Structure 1
Amino acid sequence: MNLPTNALVAVVDGENLRLFRNTGTATDVQLKGIETPALEERVSGSAGRISSDANPDNDTQAEDGHAMSVAEALNGWALKNKFDKLVVIAAPKTMGELRKHWHKEVEGAIIGEITKTLTNASPEDIIKSIEAA
């Protein structure tokens, strides 16, 4: 996948968010880390999930809440025109939760999704995953 200059890359899992901008070109991607927005702390994400024998602790709810907070932050950025193009790289479960909360402006800006856990990866490894997509 080609990544346009100034495109935003969000790398997310159930606990972390890392944001990057492409300061290079579409064919020579250079990712520069940028400050992440303050996220609203949520106890749970989408309605309908309740802890039970199949879900004995609140980890899943906390991860869903984090994904919902990330989606809300990116929705706000999109509405303020802080990015035109977005690539989302997220852990599989997190990606599913993010998709439930995207505003139509974010949906329109997404040029790629990579369902993979890369929050601890180096920018070089993230670039390799983008180029391979």
Structure 2
Amino acid sequence: MLLPHGTVFAIVDGEKFELYRNTGMESEPQLTALNAPALEATNYSAAANNHDKISRFQSGAPKDRLDKMEEAAHVTAVAQWLNGQVLDRQIDKLVVVADPKSLGQMRRHYHKELENVLMAEVSKNLAGRPPQEIIKVLHS
């Protein structure tokens, strides 16, 4: 996968949100960490709707259900923040890397404009991994 200069990478899981920008060349990417905003996960309604569908098939302790709702609310907040950045023209090329569950939740909240700048989605959990490992996975 070619990674143009200036591409923003959102690395997401149910708890973490990391941002990088390719400051290198397309052929030799160099991921530079950006300050990710401290997002407040407040959209529990979307998480609750998703949770209701899940809970019919899974039983779990209330704490486990709350954790799942918090994770869904977190990734929803990330998607909404990314939407805002795209609409404000702060991001014009985006790659989203997230674990499969988080990626599925985020897709429900993508704005059409975000979909237009989305270069790729990678369904892997790479949160907390070094930038070189992220690049290696994207090139494989």
TM-score interval, smaller chain: over 0.9
Equivalent position of 1:2 in the other structure: 2
- The question of whether the paired residues in 1 share the 8 Å contact of 2:8 and 2:93 is answered with yes
2:27 matched to 1:27? yes
2:110 matched to 1:102? yes
Structure having the higher helix fraction is: 2
Equivalent position of 1:13 in the other structure: 13
List gaps (5 residues or longer) in structure 2. none
2:121 matched to 1:113? yes
Equivalent position of 2:59 in the other structure: 54
List gaps (5 residues or longer) in structure 1. none
Q: Give the letter aligned to residue 77 of structure 2.
A: S
* Pairing 1:65-80 to 2, within 5 Å after superposition: 65-80=73-88
- The question of whether the paired residues in 2 share the 8 Å contact of 1:11 and 1:119 is answered with yes
TM-score (normalizing by structure 1): 0.92
Mapped to 1, the partners of 2:25 and 2:60 lie a distance apart of 45
Flag as ranges the 4+ runs of structure 1 deviating above 6 A.
none
**Greater alpha carbon shift after TM alignment, 92-101 vs 50-59:** 50-59
Q: CA RMSD in A?
A: 1.6
Percentage identity across paired residues of the two chains = 40
TM-score (normalizing by structure 2): 0.88
When the two structures are aligned, how many residues end up with a matched partner?
A: 132
